[in-house]
Amino acid sequence: MPPPVLYMHGRLTEQDQFAVAIVGTRKLTSYGKQMARELAVGLAQKGITVVSGLAKGVDAVAHQAVLDAGGRTIAVLGSGLDHVYPPENRALAKQIAESGRGAVMSEYELGTKPQAKNFPPRNRIISGLSLGTIVVEGDMTSGAMITAKFALEQNREVFAVPGYVTSPASSGPNWLIQQGAKLITNVQDVLDELKLGEPAEKAAVQMALPTSPEEAELMPFLTREPQHVDDIARTADLPSAYVSSTLMMLELKGLVQHVGGMKYAKF
């Protein structure tokens, strides 16, 4: 079941419709760390947004690798946005949200502390935001396997990174491969399976153009200098409520920026 509401710190763009989740164990091996980083960087370089859960281990490695590569990433929490968990990843969450290259999300309202019962449900959001989910490492009881299960239920692709049969950390991915998950060794395997060419180019075209008559009508009156909603409405000779709702949609698409105080500026 989709969440009735999502709280967000940061910004989404049209590019984020081309997203892939990278998940895995908190107790990753050096091999898992290498694969998580390589896959995250490779996806970022192809203009694909990487989604994960901001947990220790694979999640944190993937988020940081994407940011270091100049890509976009989305972190989904199992707590309120004001209770980032684990605490050592608070700086990472802030970097994601304030860098302009991603967002931190949660279905839990502010004040909600991290509890064990919150994390399995949040995994359905990670998989739901993504075209496919990559499981790097994790044992059979790991949260990554729960995310893979949700992905299958949502008719999303599941990818698994193979590992040593003697490594507990690879028992989950190896089992998924036995069950029919796509074995991957590099980013191209993911792109081929999802039939993705250059998502960044497609997204750039979509983002460059308004997608509704309302947006097209309002765009000529927007400038790079912040303007109050009422001033924009006056200049465009349009109702303030109409302008306000249209600006919200443009902001979600990354075409305008809300700078506070009901003021908006064109990117």
- How many CB atoms are located within 10 Å of the residue 163 CB? 21
Please give the torsion angle defined by the CA atoms of residues 205, 210, 213 and 216, in that order, rounded to the nearest 10 degrees.
Answer: -120
What are 143's two structure tokens? Answer: 């949260």
The stretch 39-57 carries a mean pLDDT of: 96
53 vs 220, more confident: 53
Chain Cα centroid distance, residue 156: 15
Asked if residue 1 is part of any domain, the answer here is no
Q: Residue 203: is its pLDDT beyond 50?
A: yes
Residues 164 and 262 in one domain: no
Residues 57 and 175 in one domain: yes
The answer to whether 137 touches 24, Cβ cutoff 8 Å, is yes
pLDDT band at 248; cut points 50, 70, 90:
confident
pLDDT > 90 in the chain, percent: 78
Task: Give the domain range for residue 248.
Answer: 209-266
**What does the mean pLDDT of the chain come to?**
91
pLDDT > 70 in the chain, percent: 94
Q: Residue 257: is its pLDDT beyond 90?
A: no
> Which of the listed residues 161, 185, 202 is the one where a domain comes to its end?
202
Q: Residue 267: is its pLDDT beyond 80?
A: no
Residues 16 and 101 in one domain: yes
pLDDT at 252 (0 to 100): 78
* CATH number of the domain encompassing residue 182: 3.40.50.450
> Which of the listed residues 149, 169, 202 is the one where a domain comes to its end?
202
145-196 confidence digits (pLDDT tens): 999 999 999 999 999 999 999 999 999 999 999 999 999 999 999 999 998 8
CB burial of residue 114 (10 Å; 0-12, 13-18, 19+): middle
pLDDT at 253 (0 to 100): 74
Residues 87 and 116 in one domain: yes
Residues 64, 28, 172, CA angle at the centre, nearest 5°? 115
3-state helix, strand, coil in the chain (%, to 5): 45, 15, 35
Residues 73 and 39 in one domain: yes
Residues 122 and 225 in one domain: no
Q: Residue 81: is its pLDDT beyond 50?
A: yes
10-35 confidence digits (pLDDT tens): 999 888 989 999 999 999 999 999 99
Locate tokens 């059979």: which residue? 140
- Quote the CA–CA distance of 153 and 141 in Å, as a whole number: 18
* CATH number of the domain encompassing residue 228: 1.10.10.10
> Which of 19-23, 55-59, 138-142, 251-255 is predicted with the least confidence, judged by mean pLDDT?
251-255
Q: Where are the alpha helices (DSSP H) in the chain?
A: 30-45, 58-68, 90-98, 119-128, 143-153, 171-178, 187-194, 199-208, 213-218, 229-236, 240-252
pLDDT at 205 (0 to 100): 46
What are 235's two structure tokens? Answer: 């200049």
225-240 confidence digits (pLDDT tens): 899 999 999 999 999 9
Number of separate domains in the chain: 2
pLDDT at 163 (0 to 100): 95
